Amino acid sequence: AKKEGDSSYRFFDSGDATFISEKLQLENGLYKALQEHHFSLHYQPKVYAATGELCGIEALIRWQHPELGMIPPDKFIPLAEESGFILEIDRYVFREACRQNKAWQDAGYKPIPVSINISARHFYQGDLKAMIIEVLNDTGLSPQYVSLEITEGVFMRQSDHVIETIVYLRGLGIQISIDDFGTGFSSLNQLQWLPISDVKLDRSFIRGIASDDKKSSIVKAIIELVHSMNMKVVAEGVETVEESQYCKLLKCDELQGYLFSKPLAAADLEKKFLPIKL
């Protein structure tokens, strides 16, 4: 059973006691989950639009709770963002993804980049650069096989620190992607002076694109603009053959989505997708 912790005062934060207690239970559970190794990573393939060949993988966290079962990241990532625990989660995910990728390389698989989601909060709090350097040193993974996915939220505040951090990471050889592009507050205008490698078009732009003229002309314009700024475009959440063909037609560079694969446990990704080096 759960101990009545020192955070029980938070029950009075809001009116809905049921919601609060579930939230509190999850929030308190995060620390324990990390300690007791209940987090793991799944990996979703990304393919070149032109050839269908594997071009990268995205690491996505999973929480296997001993009593509550699998808790989806959409349920606990926002809580972790709120409480600040996201910094610990980012560190775990980054370390485990780098470790696994290096292990695959050491086993003889052809090296591919791994994409890791980094919270916007990490750009304002904690030392992102130090964390990354430490983990790259410890795992021995070359920075060219690391890509960081950041959301437009990172640019909410106009900050020299953010720009300096991105320029530094890029200087190490790490790729930077803008995740969920088009859903938040930022303009391509703002991104054009930053060394961004690619923009991931949110699934809301891709869903049903083949039969929606308005959507497809918006996406076409975004893609042309992104290309003119020398960045690549990744389509997220590609579920159907029609969506995939349409993204190819509009010159998306890379595709990701259930059509190719759901996120897989490391062993399954290895078996199904990793090409052996000759």
**In the complex, least distance from residue 80 CB atom to ligand C2E, rounded to whole angstroms:** 8
At 203 the three-state DSSP class reads helix
CB of 49 vs Ca ion, minimal distance in Å: 17
Give, to the nearest 10 degrees, the angle between helix 86-106 and helix 73-83: 120
Residue 234 binds which entry of Ca ion, ligand C2E, none, CB below 5-8 Å type-dependent: none
The site for ligand C2E (CB under 6 A) is made up of 44, 60-61, 72-74, 77, 89-90, 93, 117, 119, 179-180, 203, 237-239, 257-258, 263
135 within 8 A of 94, measured Cβ to Cβ:
yes
- 273 in Cβ contact with 54 (< 8 Å): yes
- If the CB atoms of residues 78 and 171 are measured against ligand C2E, the closer one turns out to be 78
**What contacts 24+ positions apart, CB below 8 Å, involve 124-130?**
124/157, 124/159, 124/161, 124/162, 125/84, 125/87, 126/87, 128/165, 128/169, 129/165, 129/168, 129/169
**Residue with the shortest CB distance to ligand C2E:** 257
Residue ranges binding Ca ion (CB under 5 A): 117, 149, 179-180, 236
CB of 229 to ligand C2E, least distance (A): 22
Identity of the residue, 1 or 70, whose beta carbon is nearer to ligand C2E in the bound complex:
70
The token pair at 90 is: 């980012």
Name the residue nearer to ligand C2E (CB basis): 60 or 274: 60
| End-to-end Cα, the chain, rounded Å | 53
Residue 131 binds: one of Ca ion, ligand C2E, none (C-beta under 5 to 8 A by kind): none
- Residue 56's binding partner among Ca ion, ligand C2E, none (Cβ under 5 to 8 angstroms by kind) is none
Query: Nearest CA to 50 among 264, 250, 259?
Result: 250
Cβ distance to Ca ion smaller for residue 149 or 152: 149
Chosen from ligand C2E, Ca ion, none, partner binding at 72 (C-beta under 5 to 8 Å by type): ligand C2E
Nearer to ligand C2E, 134 or 239 (CB): 239
99 makes contact, choosing from Ca ion, ligand C2E, none, with CB < 5 to 8 Å by partner type, with: none
